[in-house]
Chains A and B, each alone.
Chain A
Amino acid sequence: MTTKFNFKELQERPERLAPGHRMCAGCGGTIAVRNVLRTLHPEDKAVVGNATGCLEVSSFTYPYTSYEDSYIHTAFASAGATLSGVQTAYEALKKRGKVKGNYKFITFGGDGGTYDIGLQSLSGAMERGHDMVYVCYDNGAYMNTGIQRSSATPMYADTTTTPAGSCSNGKPQIRKDLVAVMAAHNIPYTAQTTFIGNMKDLYVKSEKAIYTEGPAFLNIMAPCPRGWRFEAADMAKICKLAVETCYWPLYEVENGKWIINYEPKNKLPIEDFLKTQGRFKHLFKKGNEDLIVQFQEEVDRRWEELQIKAQA
């Protein structure tokens, strides 16, 4: 069902997330939503789901909605289950001749609603095999409530519940590898992406996720200028550095096969990524050099593990 990548045609498609929403200027979450929805074939209808979070409170504030498609939000922990109910209703009503047209089902959650409070609901929906896509816009903390750590927050990040201080180096734990968790559900399609260049990687993966029959999971790194503490204009640079340092590799797991979509020719040191963001500022204080070494070791370990999976 997927079509050949055509940047111009994609750009000419009508927006499915209307302007006028109240997301912050430079918000990565909004970029993720706009561009994922752009890959819906214009003739198809969709129901968009959403976990509670920044996106929900800012894009559907009564009496305004930014969605050109039907949309449902229920609660923080329930985006997976809610959309699975919508998708099942579609099957039931189609069978009884009560609904017409081709519908696609896509739900968005931040890392809080996906990695943490909504993980069970997501796991259930994926395991049951609903024909739907769950998109996590991963900005690595609970941004809506004010930058508290999540299990997606990178090690040593300064958040409001893991503040760096005289007795603390920020978050002590490493990030949860949610993509591997989702791949372990043996669903047809799981992928990780972010905003690179003309977004080809994101577009191709979104379309694949939406038009692969059965459940699919997309993990999109969606930097939060406020939470990560960087100038919004640096968004593209930060995404590129995340990929070039192998902090955020671009890869997909298609029917059990792990594929790395981009391997940097010269893998950049992690400092290049860390130093762009205020949340890692304390790592560059004199005497904290070993923290950066540990961070680098963790990035290397994960990258090597991924390469082994991709070679299998």
Chain B
Amino acid sequence: MAIKERMSGNEAVAYAIMQINPDVMPAFPITPSTELPQFVSNYVANGKIDTEFIPVESEHSSMSAAIGASAAGARTLTATSSCGLAYMWEMLYVAASDRLPIALALVNRGLTGPLNINCEHSDSMGARDSGWIQIYAENNQEAYDNFVMAYRIAEHKDVMLPIMACMDGFITSHAVMNITLLEDDVVKDFVGEYKPEHFLLNKEEVMAIGPYGVSNYCMEAKRAQAQAMMNAKQVILDVAEEFEKISGRKYGLFEEYRLEDADYAIVAIGSACGTAKDAVDKLRDKGIKAGLLKIRVFRPFPAKELAEALKSCKAIAIMDRAESYSANGGPLAAELGAALFKYKNQAEVLNLMYGLSGRDITVEDFEKVYEDLADAAVNGVKEDAEYRYIGIRE
């Protein structure tokens, strides 16, 4: 029996952690993910789980301890946001190249510059090439579901990569919404037991991890790691299919919302997609063929599938919640733009920057984007509209 509840995104992920009862969690508090180590500490203090919580002195140590614990053979997780993820940066690459299936609950917040605690994707986008799987949630339900699926993906023998389950800071992490939870035993059965093939505390064999890799071997290791990321795509889909059987909720690499016959598409990530859906509905009522593509999996990047899903669109707005300061648009625009080109999609493309440092985006903002797309489809993209900030004061 599914459980109907009302929870914030942080509560929902904490609930999933409680149901999974992982072996080890090192963590250091940072807004807006602080509640996660707090919830886990409370569960431990009250005997609800017997996870070993390590109150580390920094995020660099948090990821280092997570690597140590995971290499030792423990199912391991941590949580962070923003500068916390940046402080882990060096270790993120180590975790991925050591092929350790660590789960990281990332509550997206902008990196400092200036200091701000609100939602932005600059933290995870900055870490997009660190070798971690990245799955994004639109709301608390997806945040919960993604975390329940996380270990099944990361620990799959064809993958063995760390996974970042991301949700938008405050908007998703702190807003309380309705949610449907799975029962404890259903989650436990679904996630299963972690049985690593090689680990430091294996009494049958010793293991050494983290070598100096000479040029003669490193490239092969990196190629194998790249292959694991390629393999992850199918594993994510397989796990989602199994998850649908226990939850009735369907997940793919991305969600297509009224996209099938859409002339104008917005592509975005995270909570803003909920707002965009309202705009799509309003425009559809007026007979305008608006659609939305919500990215769920950013790593591995489903380039071919995205290009295919967008093939009939006349104009596409790629919306980034992170600057890359490339003077050429945001990270999603760069990657999706390349995918569209590679697969010969000739749609007009706008790159729009929105919601930086928690700036609100409204249904009306999205309606305006669809207006711009309709114009671009007929008149082409005006040079000054091609890379635009939404809601900026000039």
Contact = CB atoms under 8 A, between A and B. Distances in A.
Nearest to B195: A98
B54 A75 contact: no
A100 interface: yes
A96 B23 contact: yes
B26 A85 contact: yes
Interface string A46-73: 0101000000111011110101111111
B79 to A, nearest CB: 15
Contact of A95 (B50, B57, B60, B72): B50
A292 interface: no
Interface string B219-259: 00000000000000000000000000000000000000000
A222 to B, nearest CB: 20
B24 A92 contact: yes
Interface string B86-106: 000011001000100000000
A121 B61 contact: yes
Nearest to A69: B206
Contacts of A88: 24, 26, 52, 54, 65, 68-69, 74
A256 interface: no
A85 B209 contact: no
A89 B50 contact: no
Interface in A85-106: 85-93, 95-96, 98-101, 103
Interface in A69-87: 69-75, 77-78, 80-87
Given A69-B206, A84-B65, A92 B54 contact: no
Nearest to B71: A72
Contacts of A83: 68
Contacts, number: 170
A270 B170 CA distance: 62
Interface centre among A74, A83, A100 (most CB of B within 10 A): A74
Nearest to B57: A124
Contacts of A87: 68
Number of contact residues on A: which range applies? 35 or more
B23 A60 contact: no
Interface centre among A73, A93, A127 (most CB of B within 10 A): A93
A67 B208 contact: yes
A113 B207 CA distance: 23
Given A65-B211, A75-B64, A124-B61, A91 B206 contact: no
B73 interface: yes
B209 A71 contact: yes
B206 A68 contact: yes
Nearest to B216: A62
Nearest to A60: B211
Nearest to B94: A74
B380 interface: no
A77 B60 contact: yes
A128 interface: yes
A120 interface: yes
Nearest to B68: A85
B201 interface: yes
Interface centre among B56, B69, B73 (most CB of A within 10 A): B69
A121 to B, nearest CB: 5
Contacts of A100: 203
Nearest to B198: A70
B73 A78 contact: no
A58 to B, nearest CB: 8
B76 A89 contact: yes
B265 to A, nearest CB: 42
A86 B69 contact: yes
A21 to B, nearest CB: 11
B24 A85 contact: yes
A256 B45 CA distance: 31
A78 B60 contact: yes
Nearest to B194: A98
A123 interface: yes
Nearest to B212: A57
A247 to B, nearest CB: 32
B67 A74 contact: yes
A121 B23 contact: no
Given A73-B210, A92-B23, A86 B200 contact: yes
Contacts of A58: 212
A90 B209 CA distance: 17
A249 B61 CA distance: 32
A239 B36 CA distance: 51
B58 interface: yes
Contacts of A93: 23, 72-74, 201
Interface centre among B57, B65, B70, B94 (most CB of A within 10 A): B65
A67 B206 contact: yes
Given A45-B203, A89-B201, A73 B65 contact: no
B201 A81 contact: no
Interface of B: 23-24, 26, 50-52, 54-58, 60-62, 64-74, 76, 90-91, 94, 98, 200-203, 206-214, 217
Interface of A: 45, 47, 49, 56-58, 60-63, 65, 67-75, 77-78, 80-93, 95-96, 98-101, 103, 120-121, 123-125, 127-128
Given A65-B208, A88-B54, A92-B52, 16 more contacts: A56-B210, A60-B208, A68-B206, A74-B98, A77-B90, A78-B91, A89-B69, A89-B70, A89-B200, A92-B69, A93-B73, A93-B74, A98-B73, A99-B203, A120-B58, A120-B60
- What are the nearest 8 A-B pairs in CB distance? A85-B68, A85-B65, A124-B57, A81-B61, A89-B72, A78-B64, A89-B74, A73-B210
